[in-house]
Amino acid sequence: MNQGLVLALDIGGTNARGEVLDARLGAPLVRADLPTPERDGEATIATIASLCRLLLAGLSDVDRSRVCAVGLAVPGIIEGPTGVVRLASNLGWADEPVAARLSALLGLDVVLHHDVTAAGVAEHRLGAGAGASDLLAVFIGTGMAALVVAGGEVVSGGLHQAGEIGHIPVQQGGRPCPCGQTGCLEMYASARAIGRAYGALTGDPDATSLDVVTALGSDPRADSVWAEAMDWLAHGLLGPITLLSPARVVLGGGLSASGAVLVDALRSRLDVLSHVAAVPEIVTASLGQRAGVLGSGLATFDAIERRQLV
């Protein structure tokens, strides 16, 4: 077993999380997190570097010498082999050589991963997707994306962009998305979109999807926002389910904390909408907020073995 350590990072639209992990992927040696700057690419680079330094500062001199790489899971359209983020609108990056820049700042190899691919791999190997060889793991938070597993293998696509389910257009000429398109699914069914829709009705600019779930059954405005979002989510997922016929759908990300409220609402709508595809088993992710970090660690240790980084 690899005796080195990895700084495993998961950079979300709201929070940047990090852990120092060994190859057993048990309890972290050190854990830290920082708020993610909103759409400021330079500030995001600085935040990630600061997070790595926080993690390193928590290690003994001996353990610090064992750190062999940084695993960096980020949202957006990425090129893992080159370490370039082609587009991460929520982080303020476009055609940014993120891995190379951070490697120069930290003096460590940086291995770039898609955040949802990382979290999905963790759920597939360690969590709610274990045992399913054909799987769709959908993560719903600030944005939306998915991991596709077919025949036990992760599907990255010939152009390495498989899984961008949040940017499937579901309404022609619909709401503008930061990606530059209009009518993207995540503008209607992401946790952020749900919170904003409720805020528009209540006058609360800080409203969240959790506020909506909490108010279900007691506030007709919350009921309306939730029902509309679930309709859009079912509509958006029906295409991939029909095309791929997964045995299981794992729902992760912040919205999955609503548990059975989310699962039952989605299943009931898919049962009504689907006249061709069999509706698969639908479950919520089991690894919680650690999924992205664990997946980043898994994928980075895989890369170390494959590329012999150390």
Q: How far is CA 174 from CA 123, 145, 171, 208, in A?
A: 32, 19, 5, 22
Interatomic CA distance for residues 102 and 41, integer angstroms: 13
* Long-range contacts of the stretch 219-223 (C-beta < 8 A, 24+): 222/198
pLDDT in tens, 150-171: 999 999 888 777 899 999 999 9
The whole-number pLDDT of residue 244 equals 95
CA gap 124, 121 in Å, rounded: 5
Six-digit token string for 160: 């390495």
CA distances from 187 to 9, 182, 290 (A): 26, 9, 25
pLDDT the model gives residue 161: 79
Q: What is the mean pLDDT of the chain?
A: 93
* Distances in whole angstroms, Cα of residue 280 to Cα of each of 153, 237, 238: 18, 11, 11
Statement: residue 310 has pLDDT above 50:
no
Options 3.40.50.300, 3.40.50.920, 3.30.420.40, 3.40.605.10; CATH of 128-284: 3.30.420.40
Residues 33, 130, 77, 244: is their CA dihedral positive or negative? negative
Question: pLDDT category, 80, cuts 50, 70, 90?
Answer: confident
| Closest by Cα among 126, 119, 112 to 145 | 119
Q: How many CB atoms lie within 10 A of CB 143?
A: 31
Model pTM score: 0.85
- Alpha-helical regions (H) of 21-179: 41-57, 61-66, 98-106, 115-126
Name the 3-class secondary structure at 109: strand
Q: Identify the residue whose tokens are 């708020």.
A: 35
CA distance 87 to 77: 5
87, pLDDT greater than 90: no
pLDDT in tens, 189-237: 999 999 999 999 999 999 999 999 999 999 999 999 999 999 999 999 9
Q: Are residues 229 and 188 in contact, defined by beta-carbon separation less than 8 angstroms?
A: yes
The tens digit of pLDDT for each residue in 97-131 reads: 999 999 999 999 999 999 889 999 999 999 999 99
- Rounded Cα distance between 120 and 149, Å, is 9
Residue ranges, comma separated, of all CATH 3.30.420.40 domains in the chain are 5-118+289-307, 128-284
Residues contacting 169, CB < 8 A, separation 6+: 181, 182, 183, 184, 185
Question: What's the full length of the chain, in residues?
Answer: 310
CB 108 within 8 Å of CB 115: no
Q: What mean pLDDT comes out for the span 16-22? A: 97
Domain 5-118+289-307, CATH among 3.30.420.40, 3.30.43.10, 3.40.50.10860, 2.60.40.10: 3.30.420.40
Is the pLDDT at 178 greater than 50? The verdict is: yes
**Residue 63 burial by Cβ neighbours in a 10 Å radius (0-12, 13-18, 19+):** middle
C-alpha gyration radius of the chain? 19
- Cα(144)–Cα(141) distance, integer angstroms: 6
pLDDT of residue 179: 84
49-53, 77-81, 245-249, 275-279, range with the lowest pLDDT: 77-81
State the CB neighbour count (10 A cutoff) for residue 1: 7
Residue 135 contacts residue 282 (beta carbons within 8 Å) = no
Q: CA 239, 242, 244 angle in degrees (round to 5)?
A: 100
